[in-house]
Structure 1
């Protein structure tokens, strides 16, 4: 990291420094430095015998402060892992300070720990004032609503979450004007699905002239996800009425209905998929002109789905409190539900439409572990925001503010492959 001298009189500066040695590789290479609060970028450029730093100066130094709420959980800890080697200061926050400190001790260098409670906004407001970016991984999101985002806006702090429930979205998008006035980005649903699924649909929309259907299907290996919040989310998403887009109109339909067989890459194979409550049918129509959008889900092996159906029929998912109790019980015996399962999960997005007057069917497939599939997109979005690649302010979903090509390039650099089928 280059030490940047303090420049108190100029909003924009160019400084040239002589150098005596450089390699061919570094010649005209670029790097970026991120500045606190304004998230302004500086570019370092190497030339013949000098390097030049061009930057918009902002008091406060070059290290951005990031607080990760729920950072000691299954997904949050992976986001911490992905960001800990960045130049930014990372703090793990949540109700259990002991768990936060335990996670921090695993990493070299300084990772801070802080107490805050997602159910008490005053603790969030008190915590966020000293930070530049809030990353919220504290689920289940249907339970905690928009508390964390509201506190981020009040403290004028940028915000990213991995919200995978539809329930908080009306409250979140009602905060759009407040977020714009505060000058902050509130990015919701930046994980696996939603997240990767949204950007695959956005990419398809960019490639096609017209879109008809967007069908998103996920399949979780029962030996994959380990968090209790993920279990609660699954039970909740398979319960009650859920949003879909049908013939261009938002309607609610029964969850766990309209089974379809969907083919995933090995080792998952063909699985029965059921309608599932998710954010994509709510957010995608804000940006994408499709007629039908729906999300389906399933657990591998399939007998897990039969257990969920029985649990539902017994009324064990009839309220948030009952879901908590049921999820805690299943979590305590989760190894039993992993029998015959695989430690991989899959995502498939089918998009139909037209290109040059011809019918087209595009398919996007991914398979990996849920933890990296969810945590990596979130961490990448954080870096893209800090680099200035995300500029839209207000409440947004991934498809509203992220270039899908740039995102998938970076995801590929992280070792993930998204397979696309179908010709244009």
Structure 2
């Protein structure tokens, strides 16, 4: 729902989880673009806030320690805000509490939620939020977020759209710190239930069990991806209920990392490893540490299964393990894309649109940068737009060309370094 009258400017923006890799990018982009606003940047780790924003903020920015378990403290910190940006995951654990406070206080809510359960919970709040005059902007990062708009670009080209597929690939970004929330989300993606949309209704598949070769583009070209639990197959059919199917394909590069993830996540889902053990192993491997023998046992099982399925070769697996032993990292190869099929002018058509390939020093440098800057672009659009109410996924309100232009400006890049043309296949 949208009310057409412009809303009155309210200068306070509250940002939760602001010290995180992605949300700190969002915060810095907003402060640079709209310095006249007041900001309260909140995190449970005040020291991390200080280190992250040292020398990068002005007099309108307040750093504050906030613990989500302290409801009174959180409500005092966000009272009077025009918008709350929630970057504190995992969202299936945090979003419900924060959204409840926003509804009570009449504050518009915004997040980069990439969990299915909390996205469904957001949809369930649509009527309540509308009745309270509050908007719930859910899933406004890279995937979901950017991917949703790639799909909408294609939907608008067809008279009768039928199927939507979105895709994401995360590449090797070198030795890095993987936060616990991201590690836990990755476990949910790699195994367990996968809610998807088939034949005009919700169905449940096993995550990472089905695969396809998808035209991701860039240096990846056509790359094997896996059906995964992500919010796009939840929100896009909610916004476009006549669609026959909606699928999210995702994966990692190099290809053997998908087998590693699948093996560890399956062990966690079956109880062979605890969630703590699985997350600790992923975090260690990402930081160029050994991890654990138990973790490697499950990881090797998943990678061998990949070879047996023909998704990679023994030579590729050996090369990956040799690189892992030596802590050698290859150039980052990542991307996002959408593919939509349907009818136009009486004939069947399939269209593809791809985000530009990730490259060092650009808007698409890392997944943290593209997610954080995408969130900033969405936030700027809604702050400068009309008042909306109810559940608002990206495809329901955001204009693709305006979003890409903001991404271009935020990243100081030419437009073709952000998104590619629409391709008919």
Give TM-score, length-normalised by structure 1: 0.80
Equivalent residue number for residue 52 of structure 1: none
Equivalent residue number for residue 184 of structure 1: 134
Q: Within the alignment, does 1:311 sit opposite 2:311 as a pair?
A: no
Work out the CA distance in 2 between the residues paired with 1:357 and 1:265: 28
Distance 1:119 1:269, change over 3 A: farther
Equivalent residue number for residue 321 of structure 2: none
RMSD: 2.5
| Partner SS state of residue 146, structure 1 | helix
Equivalent residue number for residue 419 of structure 2: 418
Would the aligned equivalents of 1:205 and 1:211 in 2 still touch at CA under 8 Å?
yes
Cα deviation, 1:30-67, whole Å, max 9, x if unaligned, reads: xxxxxxxx9x96xxxxxxxxxxxxxx8x6xxx661111
Spell out the pairing of 1:172-211 with structure 2 (5 A cutoff). 172-211=122-161
Equivalent residue number for residue 375 of structure 2: 378
| Partner SS state of residue 168, structure 1 | helix
Equivalent residue number for residue 361 of structure 2: none
Cα drift, residue 323 of structure 1: 3.0
The structure 2 residue matched to 1:80, chosen from 6, 18, 27, is: 27
Would the aligned equivalents of 1:185 and 1:393 in 2 still touch at CA under 8 Å?
yes
Spell out the pairing of 1:24-423 with structure 2 (5 A cutoff). 64-85=11-32, 86=34, 87-110=36-59, 111-223=61-173, 226-228=177-179, 229-288=181-240, 289-313=242-266, 315-317=267-269, 322-336=274-288, 339-366=328-355, 367-368=357-358, 369-388=366-385, 390-414=386-410, 415=413, 416-423=417-424
Would the aligned equivalents of 2:168 and 2:251 in 1 still touch at CA under 8 Å?
yes
Distance 1:262 1:151, change over 3 A: same
Work out the CA distance in 2 between the residues paired with 1:80 and 1:265: 30
Work out the CA distance in 2 between the residues paired with 1:318 and 1:182: 42
Larger radius of gyration between Structure 1 and Structure 2: 1
Unpaired segments of 5 or more residues in structure 1?
A: 1-37, 42-55
Give TM-score, length-normalised by structure 2: 0.79
Q: Which moved more, 1:183-192 or 1:255-264?
A: 255-264
Equivalent residue number for residue 298 of structure 2: none
| Partner SS state of residue 256, structure 1 | coil
Cα drift, residue 193 of structure 1: 0.8
Distance 1:402 1:90, change over 3 A: same
Equivalent residue number for residue 309 of structure 2: none
Would the aligned equivalents of 1:74 and 1:226 in 2 still touch at CA under 8 Å?
no
Cα drift, residue 340 of structure 1: 4.3
Distance 1:119 1:353, change over 3 A: farther
Work out the CA distance in 1 between the residues paired with 2:16 and 2:133: 21
| Partner SS state of residue 117, structure 2 | coil
| Partner SS state of residue 84, structure 2 | strand
Cα drift, residue 177 of structure 1: 2.4
Work out the CA distance in 1 between the residues paired with 2:279 and 2:331: 20
Distance 1:193 1:82, change over 3 A: same
More helix by share: 2
Would the aligned equivalents of 1:67 and 1:133 in 2 still touch at CA under 8 Å?
yes
Kindly tell me the number of residue pairs found equivalent between the two proteins. Answer: 366
Cα drift, residue 138 of structure 1: 1.1
Work out the CA distance in 1 between the residues paired with 2:135 and 2:211: 37
Which of structures 1 and 2 has the larger relative contact order (alpha carbons within 8 angstroms, sep 6+)? 2
Cα drift, residue 328 of structure 1: 3.0
Cα drift, residue 355 of structure 1: 1.2
